[in-house]
Amino acid sequence: MICTEAAEFVSALCDGEIIPPTAAEHIGTCPACQARLRDYLNLGVELRRTASLEQRAAVPARAWVRPQNPLTAFLQKGWGTMRIPRLAFAAMIAGIVALACGLAVVKVGARSTGTVVLLNTVGPDGTLWACPLSTQDTNQSCERDGKMSSQNLAYRVRLVSRDGSRVLLAIHTRTFTKGDDLSSFNHDSDPAAKLTEVWFEPGEKLKVDVPNVGTFTLTGEWMDHMPILIGSHGEDVSPGPNEIRIASPVLLKDKKLVGDFVSVVSGVFSMDEPDRAMWIYQPGQGSFLLSLSPMRGATEASVTFSRISFEEGGHSWEFVTGNPVCRGNHVWVLHQADFKPASQKDQLFIVTQALVQTAPGEWSPTGHQ
């Protein structure tokens, strides 16, 4: 389970609901989700405090009497008159016990499939970052340097290889003084750096001792895509598995601006139906159909974060949008340079277009050709 999946269960916990064991285990070991849980609790307290200020009717005074036997009083309250069903009360207690156990568990359930390990590191001074590492691109790494435990520390993690559900991590560390050149450290050629190679299985906790600094704790989980993380809690803003997103795009032809769709899409235009394509029309440049599915006559375009790039008709084309386009690194673009809309004015638009499967694994647009 990842943080975005666990978010709804954080809210459910604050509402007094029982949540699935996998969610409880994740929340119990994830610093980001625990921080979100504290934020929810603080928000609830503040809302109740504000509501109390607006209370018009006088709140009756209460006389609190300490019972002679607290245990007896608790049992009488629990099994005498209750405002919730006894079975629900018992389930609530069981859920709280299960969550408490989850907070102390060292090894939790985690999926063993995926191509990306989302690694979290907690240092002596708290959480460092959420670091996604791909098993398909071992040139990636996560670096950080700064003050930790009164030392200036450079810290770098790289995924070396994978063996089943575990990965081999190369952890580089070195202390430095202000003004030191760390360029060689970021290229694995710093003689002052200490290298530690460890096998790590997502779902476990791994402790790594760094001399003169302290102990670092690594946790992680498998993901089926490279997440796009923002904010202090590392929120994943990646599109869905079958989603294409477009936000206020501009169109470049041979590196020159030929279309600006801000007047049509001032927010986010999203499509997650595999049998439909995103249909974009720019007067003077023609029709563009964008799809995650291969289309007859279409060009395979590369996707880099918020850019869709392709070559067609002897020109280079690029859609630049204000958000991540999709989870993958390519889409198919069917460009019809001479297309003119028959039923509407010659003005730019973005809509969705139905596709029909014409062959195994191949689709064609319908309705506008």
- Is pLDDT at 99 greater than 60 in this prediction? no
- Are 214 and 302 members of one domain? no
Predicted confidence at residue 368, as pLDDT, reads: 45
For 338, the 3-state DSSP assignment is coil
Measuring CA to CA, how many Å separate 18 from each of 39, 110, 317? 19, 20, 51
Contacts for 255 with CB less than 8 Å, ≥ 6 apart: 316, 318
Q: pLDDT exceeding 90 applies to what percent of the chain?
A: 29
Taking the CB of residue 351, how many other CB atoms lie within 10 A of it?
14
Residue 345 lies in a domain: yes
- Are 224 and 331 members of one domain? no
Confidence label for 335 from pLDDT (cuts 50, 70 and 90): very high
- Is pLDDT at 93 greater than 70 in this prediction? no
Considering 207, 236, 265, which residue would you say is the last residue of a domain?
A: 236
- Are 193 and 251 members of one domain? no
Predicted confidence at residue 241, as pLDDT, reads: 87
Predicted confidence at residue 78, as pLDDT, reads: 38
- Is pLDDT at 97 greater than 50 in this prediction? no
Residue 68 lies in a domain: no
Predicted confidence at residue 286, as pLDDT, reads: 92
Q: pLDDT exceeding 70 applies to what percent of the chain?
A: 72
Confidence label for 125 from pLDDT (cuts 50, 70 and 90): confident
Residue 329 lies in a domain: yes
DSSP tag of 273:
-
277 strand-pairing partners: 353
Predicted confidence at residue 206, as pLDDT, reads: 92
- Is pLDDT at 324 greater than 50 in this prediction? yes
Of the given ranges (23-32, 240-249, 255-264, 314-323), which has the lowest mean pLDDT? 23-32
- Are 301 and 190 members of one domain? no
Q: How far apart are CA 183 and CA 181, in angstroms?
A: 6
pLDDT digits (tens, 9 = 90+) for 34-65: 766 766 565 555 545 544 554 444 444 433 33
- Are 125 and 176 members of one domain? yes
Quote the domain boundaries for residue 154: 116-236
At what angle are helices 31-53 and 3-14 packed, to 10 degrees? 30
- Are 169 and 223 members of one domain? yes
- Are 97 and 201 members of one domain? no
Predicted confidence at residue 106, as pLDDT, reads: 38
Tell me which of 212 and 231 has the higher pLDDT. Answer: 212
Measuring CA to CA, how many Å separate 298 from each of 11, 69, 96, 304, 335? 44, 78, 55, 19, 7
- Is pLDDT at 132 greater than 80 in this prediction? yes
Confidence label for 1 from pLDDT (cuts 50, 70 and 90): low
The torsion angles phi and psi of 361, rounded to 5 degrees, stand at 75, 10
Considering 236, 261, 279, which residue would you say is the last residue of a domain?
A: 236
Tell me which of 84 and 351 has the higher pLDDT. Answer: 351
Residue 67 lies in a domain: no
Is 150 in contact with 163 (CB distance < 8 Å)?
no
123 strand-pairing partners: 126
Predicted confidence at residue 42, as pLDDT, reads: 58
Measuring CA to CA, how many Å separate 243 from each of 138, 259, 277? 27, 23, 10
User: pTM, whole model, 2 decimals?
Assistant: 0.54
Residue 304 lies in a domain: yes
Both structure tokens of 67: 């019972």
Residue 143 lies in a domain: yes
DSSP tag of 281:
E
Both structure tokens of 144: 């950080």
CB half-sphere exposure, 154, CA atoms < 13 A: 21
Q: How far apart are CA 158 and CA 151, in angstroms?
A: 22
Query: What rounded mean pLDDT belongs to the chain?
Result: 77
Average pLDDT over residues 133-162: 88
Tell me which of 68 and 14 has the higher pLDDT. Answer: 14
Predicted confidence at residue 236, as pLDDT, reads: 81
Residue 172 lies in a domain: yes
Q: How many domains does the chain have?
A: 3
Residue 285 lies in a domain: yes
Predicted confidence at residue 204, as pLDDT, reads: 92
How would you write 153-211 as a 3-class SS string? EEEEEEEEEEECCEEEEEEEEEECCCCCCCCCHHHCCCCCCEEEEEEECECECEEEEEC
Q: How far apart are CA 291 and CA 335, in angstroms?
A: 12
- Are 34 and 127 members of one domain? no
- Are 84 and 147 members of one domain? no
Tell me which of 200 and 31 has the higher pLDDT. Answer: 200
- Is pLDDT at 188 greater than 90 in this prediction? no
Both structure tokens of 106: 């060292």
Predicted confidence at residue 192, as pLDDT, reads: 86
Considering 180, 213, 236, which residue would you say is the last residue of a domain?
A: 236
Tell me which of 201 and 275 has the higher pLDDT. Answer: 201
Predicted confidence at residue 63, as pLDDT, reads: 38
Predicted confidence at residue 248, as pLDDT, reads: 86
Contacts for 172 with CB less than 8 Å, ≥ 6 apart: 154, 155, 156, 157, 158, 185, 188, 190, 193, 194, 195, 196
Q: How far apart are CA 80 and CA 240, in angstroms?
A: 49
- Are 221 and 269 members of one domain? no
Q: How far apart are CA 163 and CA 186, in angstroms?
A: 25
- Are 91 and 154 members of one domain? no
- Are 125 and 217 members of one domain? yes
Q: How far apart are CA 183 and CA 338, in angstroms?
A: 51
